[in-house]
Structure 1
């Protein structure tokens, strides 16, 4: 972890005094996961018409093996003309969700957007079309081409009070969380069917008494809860007893945690 990402590592609250404390995913891992899940972002280029001013465009994107965003854009588009004059740009990616948008994760990737080198064009095409099959209708038009953002720096906001810079080097080597694809289903299931269990876990692991609980995020090491308490809304993170790799392992460890918590609080 680079010193620009975090001065002191953030860690979970303990789930068991005798258990080792698992670190949270790094900001670099969180951004890499967030960008891998996104499909539409806001690309800001430097305006030709108004020099020095940012010009925002809605932008579909895919990613390459290093997590660099790939765009299929037309020379006739204003953002492409802006990039051809000045490649400096930023891409704003945000987490999808129905809750408070200020409480969701988002990241701004700052860097240079340049044409994909000819020898890498075939791989970029394959990755992009795998995500946007309908793009086959115009991918071979002469005015379209593939561009790629090379990150220079990244700013991450993980919700209220969670924010920090991530270096490009850390981002490019970070791994996508193994629960990335399964997370929405896990959150929906827990928030629909297991609110009492989450209230129990909040009491057992965070010493918080809640009348309502919502799981807002989950990763291989733990999960976040938003809780309605007598003192207002509060958030907490609880780490799993062990790291998980898929939805089935997540279910098993949550059942184990609830079963362990019940007799302690009875």
Structure 2
């Protein structure tokens, strides 16, 4: 019997750069959380961005189910990367990132700077950015799996994901 082939390749500078490019170019992501009422995973689409320091953020409504889930359990996963206009979606690069979420209350001192940065990078959020139930969430990456396309899978550690 032959040994199974490990599909994970050794991380190289090109793969690390691809992961960074996916993160830097993303304006939205899929967010995975654990529903505190059922224990089942749930995935939603969120606005997403990196601040000037390279930290990962979203801006969400406190009324959303994923906000309740993050309050109960800060562990989250993010899927970053979109299929191209042509070809099989599975051949396009994507990053599955595991992170811990920190909810930032609207009264936090850094909220003003985050607000200005968010508006500059997500101008359409102007219609809801001052609603009282919205707040920022910062994601601290723990590790990730990069699928760079067919036969190009890589595991990244937290230090590999830092800008």
Residue 125 (structure 2) pairs with residue 138 (structure 1): no
Q: Is the 8 A contact 1:66 1:172 kept in 2?
A: no
Q: Distance in 1 between matches of 2:149 and 2:74?
A: 30
The gaps in structure 2 that reach 5 residues or longer are 1-7
On the 8 A contact 1:70/1:128 being kept in 2, the answer is: no
Distance 1:137 1:96, change over 3 A: same
1:167 maps to which residue? Answer: 157
* Inter-CA distance 76–8: structure 2 relative to 1 (3 Å threshold): closer
Once residues 14 and 133 of structure 2 are traced to their aligned partners in structure 1, the CA distance between those partners, rounded to angstroms, is: 40
Matching residue of 2:90: 102
Show structure 1 runs of 5+ residues with no match.
10-24, 174-266
8 Å Cα contact 2:91-2:150 kept in structure 1: yes
Contact 2:11 2:154 in 1 (8 A): no
Aligned mate of 2:146, from 152, 156, 163: 156
Matches of 1:49 and 1:26, distance apart in 2: 41
Q: Identify if the C-alpha distance between structure 1 residues 159 and 79 changes in structure 2 by more than 3 Å, giving closer, same or farther.
A: same
Q: TM-score, normalised by structure 2?
A: 0.85
Q: Count the aligned residue pairs.
A: 153
User: TM-score, normalization: structure 1?
Assistant: 0.54
1:75 aligns with 2:62: yes
More strand by share: 2
1:8 is displaced (CA, Å) by: 7.3
1:147 matched residue in structure 2: 137
Higher relative contact order (CA 8 A, sep 6+): 2
Secondary structure of 1:26's match? helix
Q: Distance in 2 between matches of 1:26 and 1:171?
A: 13
Could you say what secondary structure the match of 1:31 adopts?
helix
RMSD: 1.9
Query: 1:70, CA displacement in angstroms?
Result: 1.1
CA distance in 2, matches of 1:126, 1:28: 29
Larger Rg: 1
After the TM superposition, which segments of 4 or more aligned residues of structure 1 sit over 6 Å from their partners? none
Counterpart pick for 2:26 among 27, 33, 38:
38
Cα deviation for residue 62 of structure 1 reads 1.3
C-alpha deviation, 1:142, in angstroms: 1.2
